[in-house]
Structure 1
Amino acid sequence: MLQLFRNFFKSKLGIAFTLGFLALIAIAFASSDVASSGSFGGVSGGDRVAVVGDTKIGTAEYSMNVTNAFNNMRQQNPTLTMDAFVSQGGADQVFEQMLQRTAVAEYARKYGLRAGQRLVDSEIIQSGSFNGPDGSFDQDMFRAVLQRQGLTEAAVRSDLAAGLLAQQLTRPVGFGATMPRSIAQRYAALQGESRKGTIAIIPSMAFAPKDDPTDKQVQEYYSQNKQNYIRPERRVIRYTTFGPDAVGDVPAPTDAQIKARYERDADQYAASESREFTQLVLPTEAAAKAVLDEVNNGSSLAAAAKSKGLETTSVGPVTQSELAQNASAAVAQAAFAVDRGTIAKPARGGLGWYLLRVDSVKSTPARSLDQVRGEISDTLAAEQQRAALVDLSTKIEDEVDSGRSLAEIAKERDLTLQSTKPLTAEGNVYGTPGEKAPEVLNRALTTAFQMQEGKPQLAEVDPGKTFLIFEAQEITPSAAAPLKDIREQVVAAWRRHEGSVKAKEASQRIMKRLADGKSFREAMAAEKTTLPPADSIDMSRDEIARGGQVPPILALFFSMAEDTTKRLEAPGDNGWFVAQLDTITPGKLDDDDPSIGQVRTQLGQLVGDEYLEQFVKAVEKQIGTERNSAAIKAVKDQLTGANNRLN
């Protein structure tokens, strides 16, 4: 479940990211209205989980980073619980990364590196998490977000500065790392390697108990494997929509309004002319005149351009003002001074000297106020209705902010309330495959799964046309399904598990017979239980690579030594594999094969990762770290609710 998380933190990009931007993760979540875990109780905020050099890492800081990492993972896996995150090592991963980042920052300061205020300012602004409606950084929003999360600006800036110091120090470490060509060639040749052998599956169900388990056995198995039965968080969303009908009849535009709009847009209704051209741009005036002479002597503009290695392009339809903006006023004046079919005299523009042939001319006569009165009236009416709708939405938003309930708002305006079936964060109806949330909620689902229960919000569904008011009416947290609801499923899993234990014993017996010289068929046939026949394997690394994701048993098969036998547990308690490798045929590769260079580049990246990992470990050792195991455990217990379960 956390493999992506682990792999990300192990990569060079992941290390750099974690060393530099744990604080920005927190800020980004805060600015996205992801609810924080609340005040950190049970462990004093002054307690520390570690001391790195001269820097103390407090319990509150550790708790915040774990919570934000957990929230980040839940964006990809909505069924993830804090219990699962902590038990599978997520909190430990965050803790180790905090130690690394702090140690590297301490080391950087020790040797004179600095991260000034302007650099920190730049990182905050570039994060984009605090941009206002105009798209630029909003200082008030920044401070409001920090206040909402219980953070001080000084603490955030200090955290960002530490991350920037770590980046300055770590980026050069793995830069330019390479692997010798001879080693890269050996690895590249492996792609052509082929192997022969045998793979057998010993299925669990062949050994599964036939009798029903006792209630105690079912309960024990369920208790030990609750994480396999986690149901996702479900929410019932109550909502209503409103559009133009909600504002009723809007007064028709007056004659004065229509006249004012006509005068404002006078250029739009004035007489106009647009033209289409064939264009050729040349570097000098002399070159342009030479081409014009060729055309005047019977050549076409396209042919004259081609003889000089150039091509003509089509332009338009454009007005004179548009052409002046795109080329220059001189070009536009020349192009609009000649008749259709004529080439204008050369004129200088932004790209060089322009030759333009007029291909078509379209003249549009002026339109009087009476001619466009209806058009303007319709436009104004639509604008006024949209404005009234926006005013209504603003008023409703103010009511929502003041604490009015969705039911009160809907009743006052005679809006129809609807409630969804329980939904998952992905927008699926829980327990009904293929059924989705109403389309009108698509853009609001992410927010709906971040809101508190009974706290409505307003969203614009179709800009200027349709608005949505919605709330989380009922929230069912992610948790293991009650045993009574899934007893048959648990019993089936118990049978597989018990069968897997017996299948493992059978695989041990089969491997012993193979070691004693029996053939694969003889070793399998000696079992009292009927087993599926083994498969003969004859394939190359290239073949399994082309197949996409490599099954674990084939990955094992291609990592074994020749004339050996190994076993591997199948996923989901489904049985055990036994693999026997008979022969390995090495691949052949020419010295100039391009794949050698590709493999060398990939290996160089891995070497850089190793350099960086070793460097960080050496820094940690030199700076020195002290861990407070009791405080670390207290933070985990607080986050998972273990303290409450014990009380």
Structure 2
Amino acid sequence: MISSIRSLINSKFGAIFALLFVGMIAIAFALGDVSNSGSFGGLSGGNVARVGDRDITLGELNDALDNRLKSERQNNPTLNMASFVDGGGLDTTLEQLINRYALTVFGQEYGVAVSKRLIDSEIRKIPGAMGLDGKFSAEAFGRFAQQIGVSEKAIRDDIAQNLFAQQILPASASGPAAPDGFVLPYASLLLEQRSGQIAAVPASAFLPQKPPSETVLAKFYSDNSVKFTIPEKRSISYAIFGKDIIAQRAKPTEADIAAYYKANAAKFAAAQARNISQVIVPTEAAAKSVVAQVAAGKSIVAVANELGLAVTTAINVNKSTLTSTTSQAVADAAFAAAQGTVAKPARSNLGWAVVRVDSINNVAAKSLAAARAEIAEELLKTRSEEMLTEMTGEIEDAFANGATISDVAKQNSLAVSTSPKLLATGQDISNPSYKPIPEMQAILPAAFQMETNGEAQLIELVPGEKFAMIAVADFDEAAPPALNQVRSIVLQQWAQSEGAKGARKAADALRKAVDAGQPLEAALAAAKINGAQVERLSGTRADISREGQQVPPPLSLMFAMKKGTAKTIQAGDNRGWFVVYLTDIVKGDASGQSDMLKARKQELSGILQQEYVAQMVLSAAKDVGVEKNEDGIAEVRTRLTNRDGN
């Protein structure tokens, strides 16, 4: 019931600043009426709301709406701004902004501290703010802000708001668990079973016999234009390339190979590695005792076991590695001992080491000729990665400086292709046989996130191996087509709509007959409705509360009715109406089901925690004061849902 409500603290920058406690604040979207929409005092027309002494500007709301739409389009690529706003996106986005500001202002007024140093520490966690050395870089942070299209100040403000929420809300959620007195009635309610009769009244039984006039059809089309709207289409220019584009340039010369061989002479020189067994003891005396016992014939493992210690082994370890993991003294002793002997005890970082040399492995020196292939492969790999990183960086810089995809493609000897105008799904509605190239699966989601008049972008198709430069070449905004292009479909929809109106009247008549005492089956038979029929339906409350399960609307309605009553409910998509008659209620009893009671207690406790947080947000908003510019909000709504009217 509450799980479908999204997080109050929804960051403007996606998952970068996701809050760990997002689940606890899901209910907060339900808090709508926290404002006083009366006199605005000094609230200017450029602001949509004031929270305490903070203004939420029209520009900030627009940015938040754009970011929310981009986020939603990752799951629904065909969603446009008008549909998003009609679906409540404007209201929830504004409430998010108001509640974020309310927590911030409230926190500041009551001594919650968010310092610049704390904000800086959060910024350092952003991957995009890291330089090539893996450390924070002011330049990288600036580029990151530019790439996501926001100012550095906006990022800092967003982080600060999250930090205020992180400090305030978890404490609010730490209330008591649900009492047992709540749990049993709730659990028993889920076991309640209801049965009833459902009469389906199809719209097809009431379809009009005459076609509509042009005026009626045009009005119907205008009133229902959203149903016929063609989603946004975009034509994408793209140039695809792989790491092979720099393979020839990255190929090392003989001079490069020779220089690498010389610079890494130690790597190819004759070397010795050893397999060793080692035990660490606390004192030099103990180490000497171990050496003496091994010299007398005991194995080093047996001696260690008697002391309650473990023997560690190392295979093919060289002297430098052993030095770094133990100490110079241990390495010197180990590499001075002969094969099969125990080295002189030496102090390590952890104590005194007794090392037995199990075997010695000598590696012959490798000549330049013998090492040539190995060096060439290593240089090619390293240079390819470096040159590819350099090339992609230059491309991104060029786009940031205003270069077009054609300019950059020409500089890199690449061909630019342009797709027809496609839906976000890859379909070309003007050519049903069109099949996009496989790379479009990655290109289209990125292209539909871009600004239509924005700069070109470089995206990865296969990480580190395949890339594409993309740009929006042309686009058509989501809009309904001309009536003549969809006349036959509109006629069908009009007829179905009219039929649904007739079905509703018939369903209302059936309901009244049942309320007057006539059995539903008898009332339906008397009405003589073509295709209408009565079915029996039963289920428990648990059936309608299971997540991910499609529940028939009539079944859900039965749990909102009194026994012996009838109600009507629409079938959806103008398919007709249902008459629901509740015939029986069997109460549930969960008193003996311990597992169920435990699960319900946990569920109710979670709901209570969400309610505690919701009340905290509501109280903060009331405490600091919220004013909404209803006229300004209405103008935003009109502009975003009726763009053609501007």
TM interval, shorter chain, is: 0.7 to 0.9
User: How far did residue 616 of structure 1 move?
Assistant: 3.3
**TM-score of the superposed pair, with normalisation by structure 1:** 0.75
Cross-structure match for 1:611: 612
Matched, 1:581 2:591: no
**1:518-597 equivalent positions in 2, closer than 5 A:** 518-542=518-542, 548-551=548-551, 552-590=553-591, 593-597=594-598
CA contact (8 A) 2:46 2:57 kept: yes
Instruction: Give SS of 2:172's match.
Output: coil
Specify every segment of 5 or more residues in structure 2 that has no aligned partner in the other structure, as ranges.
19-42
Structure 1 partner of 2:260: 261
1:32-71 equivalence runs, <5 A = 47-71=46-70
Q: Which residue of 2 aligns with 1:479?
A: 479
Q: Partners of 1:188 and 1:352 in 2: how far apart?
A: 63
**TM-score, length basis structure 2:** 0.76
| Cα distance in 2 for residues equivalent to 1:182 and 1:101 | 35
Q: 1:444 & 1:95 partners in 2: Cα distance?
A: 31
1:542 Cα deviation after fit = 4.9
In the TM superposition, 1:444-463 aligns within 5 A as 444-449=443-448, 450-452=450-452, 455-459=455-459, 461=461
Distance in 2 (CA, whole Å) between partners of 1:553 and 1:280 is: 76
Q: Does structure 2 conserve the Cα–Cα contact (< 8 Å) formed by 1:423 and 1:429?
A: yes
Gap change, CA 1:398 and 1:166, over 3 Å in 2: closer
How far apart are 1:454 and its partner, in Å?
8.7
RMSD: 5.1
The answer to whether the 8 A contact 2:515-2:565 is kept is: no
| % same residue | 33
Equivalent position of 2:198 in the other structure: 199
Q: Shift of residue 181 of structure 1? A: 0.7
1:133 Cα shift? 4.4
CA contact (8 A) 1:331 1:354 kept: yes
Structure 2 residue matching 1:199: 3-state secondary structure: strand
Structure 1 residue 570: Cα displacement: 2.0
The offset of 1:25, in angstroms, is 5.9
Change (3 A) 1:181 1:408: closer
Task: State how far apart, in whole Å, the 2-side matches of 1:375 and 1:612 are.
Answer: 62
Report the secondary structure of 1:506's partner residue.
helix
User: Within 1, Cα distance between the matches of 2:279 and 2:432?
Assistant: 61
Q: 1:591 to 1:346 in 2, by over 3 A?
A: farther
Equivalent in the alignment of 1:74: 73
Deviation at 1:330, TM superposition (A): 8.7
Query: What is the deviation of 1:381?
Result: 5.6
Alpha-carbon distance between aligned partners in 2 of 1:386 and 1:504, rounded to the nearest angstrom: 68
**Equivalent residue for 1:425?**
424
> Which residues of structure 1 form unaligned runs of 5+?
30-43
How many Å apart are 1:69 and its aligned residue? 2.9
User: In structure 1, what is the equivalent of residue 489 of structure 2?
Assistant: 489
Q: How far, CA to CA, are the matches of 2:308 and 2:199 in structure 1? A: 68
C-alpha deviations, 1:59-93, integer Å up to 9, x for none?
33333333333333333333333223333332222
Alignment partner of 1:602 is 2:603:
yes
Match of 2:503 in 1: 503
On the 8 A contact 1:45/1:60 being kept in 2, the answer is: no
- Aligned in 2, Cα 1:272/1:48: closer, same or farther, shift over 3 Å? same
Deviation at 1:50, TM superposition (A): 3.2
CA offsets, 1:259-284, max 9 Å, x none? 22223344543456678899999999
User: 1:229–1:122: structure 2 CA closer, same or farther, 3 Å change rule?
Assistant: farther
Q: How does 1:204-215 map to 2 (within 5 A)?
A: 204-215=203-214
Contact kept in structure 1, 2:107 and 2:168, CA below 8 Å? yes
The 5 A counterparts of 1:130-209 are: 130-143=129-142, 157=156, 161=160, 164-209=163-208
8 Å CA contact retained: 1:196, 1:537: yes
Determine if contact 1:26/1:64 at 8 Å carries over to the other structure: no
CA deviation after TM superposition for structure 1 residue 184, in Å: 0.8
| Distance change (3 Å), C-alpha of 1:423 and 1:279 | farther
Change (3 A) 1:75 1:611: same
Q: Name the SS of the counterpart of 2:503 in structure 1.
A: helix
2:301–2:310: 8 Å Cα contact kept in structure 1?
A: no
Length, aligned pairs only: 618
Distance in 2 of aligned mates of 1:389 and 1:506: 71
Alpha-carbon distance, 1:573 to partner: 2.0
Q: Contact 1:197 / 1:582 at 8 angstroms: preserved in 2?
A: yes
Distance 1:297 1:362, change over 3 A: closer
Code of the residue aligned with 2:590 in structure 1: it is L
CA change 1:389–1:600 in 2 (3 A) is closer
Matched, 1:113 2:112: yes
The answer on whether the counterparts of 2:197 and 2:580 sit within 8 Å (CA) in structure 1 is: yes
- Say if 1:147 and 1:284 are closer, same or farther in 2 by CA, change over 3 A: same
Compute the displacement of 1:593 (Å): 0.3
Alignment partners' CA distance in 2, 1:574 and 1:280: 82
Number of the residue aligned with 1:468: 468
1:397-435 deviation line (CA, Å, top 9, x unaligned): 666566554445556766443222433335555577897
Q: Contact (CA 8 Å) 2:48, 2:632: kept in 1 or not?
A: yes
Contact 1:400 1:456 in 2 (8 A): yes
Counterpart of 1:628 in structure 2 is: 629
8 Å CA contact 1:78, 1:232 repeated in 2: no
Does the C-alpha gap of structure 1 residues 53 and 568 become closer, same or farther in structure 2, counting only changes over 3 Å?
Answer: same
The whole-number CA distance in structure 1 between the counterparts of 2:493 and 2:218 is 12
Instruction: Give the aligned residue type for 1:236.
Output: S
Structure 1 contact 78–233 (Cα < 8 Å) conserved: no
Structure 2 CA distance for partners of 1:531 and 1:61, relative to 1, 3 Å: same
Measured in 2, the distance between the counterparts of 1:389 and 1:150 equals 25
The change in CA–CA distance for 1:181 and 1:214 in structure 2 (over 3 A counts) is: same
1:372: Cα distance to partner?
2.2
Instruction: Give 1:599 shift.
Output: 1.2
Aligned residue number for residue 371 of structure 1: 370
Q: Does 1:91 align with 2:74?
A: no
CA distance in 2, matches of 1:590, 1:349: 66
Matched AA of 1:83? A
For residues 34-59 of structure 1, give each alpha carbon's deviation from its aligned partner in whole angstroms, at most 9, with x where no partner exists. xxxxxxxxxx9864333444334333
Structure 1 residues 260 and 50: alpha-carbon distance in aligned structure 2, compared to 1, 3 A threshold: closer
Q: Could you tell me which residue of structure 2 aligns to residue 645 of structure 1? A: 645
CA distance in 1, matches of 2:545, 2:255: 74
C-alpha distance in structure 2 between counterparts of 1:505 and 1:618, whole Å: 46
Report the alpha carbon displacement of residue 322 of structure 1 after superposing the two structures with TM.
5.7
Q: Provide closer, same or farther for how the CA distance between residues 376 and 99 of structure 1 changes in structure 2, counting only shifts above 3 A.
A: closer
| Structure 1 residue 147 displacement after superposition | 7.7
Stretch moving more, 613-622 or 154-163: 154-163
Distance 2:143 2:207 in 1: 60
Query: Residues 49 and 266 from structure 1, CA distance in 2 versus in 1: closer, same or farther, beyond 3 angstroms?
Result: same
Which region of structure 1 is more displaced relative to structure 2, 572-581 or 209-218? 209-218
Deviates more, 1:499-508 or 1:365-374: 365-374
- Using the TM superposition, name which of 145-154 and 614-623 deviates more: 145-154
CA displacement, residues 601-640 of structure 1 (integer Å, 9 cap, x when unaligned): 2212212222333343344344433333323333434545
Secondary structure in structure 1 of the residue aligned to 2:496 = helix
